[in-house]
Chain A
Amino acid sequence: MPHDVLEKHPDAERLYGMDFTDELPDDTSVTAGSSVSAVDANGTAAASVVGTVSQAGMTLNAVLQAGTNGQDYLVTFTGRGNTSARDAVKQLEMRVRTKMTGSV
């Protein structure tokens, strides 16, 4: 089960922040070594739906953009702690729909 689910129009760009405070208790921030990647429902890499990635304290931010109508993307946020150097992973399911179902 992903940590969060969002539904997005293909034309919309969304700045999404994933907080790693609970997963990396020994750290005060996530480093630039953190990453965000995405695959579509067929398991194919979908780098184009992830835009600019940035860090702010314990939050790893990514601009989620574009996408194909009907596709479900699994976006993986890998946050690396600045002190522990441990990686924590949280996932987001992004459903791209031109007609929103409104059920999320």
Chain B
Amino acid sequence: MSDKVFYAMYDDDDVLKDGAKKIVAKGVKVNEVFSPFPIHGIDPIIGVKHTRLGIMAFLYGLTGLMLATIGMRYFMIVDWPMNIGGKPNNTYLQNILAFIPVTFEFTVLCAAHLMAITYLLRNKTLPGRKAENPDPRTTDDKFVMEVRLSENPKFSAEEISAMLKETGIIELNQKEIN
């Protein structure tokens, strides 16, 4: 299906935010915003849901904690118990103080790395990937708002471009995609 994409370019983050508010109020769906740095407050306007990566980090941390506990219990209590200064080591609980540092480190190790990997995968930012920002200036000082015709069936192409032009843009590019 052929589609028409509008790239409205701004030179200020606040102007883009106001513009997005205006056209969203009129019922236009903003598909994407490309910016050189995080624009605070843009997410609720264009309907980007808050990420759940924080919850994942917690679960990854729990995984690390569990693995460390299972591992150390097996190494130190079950498989090769050591008699250190005649102190009891029959159960994991009796020796748990000595295991806290490694448990903590391993929890952090798992939480941090697995979260970072998830982050890269979900963003689809991986070594060898091609950049997808519509204009190289969006990593410098320009901000681009993307609106797709197919996602706004209520409006015609002319209506959309007219509405975008009222929001303080500096450039408007249109692209046909198939």
A and B interact: no
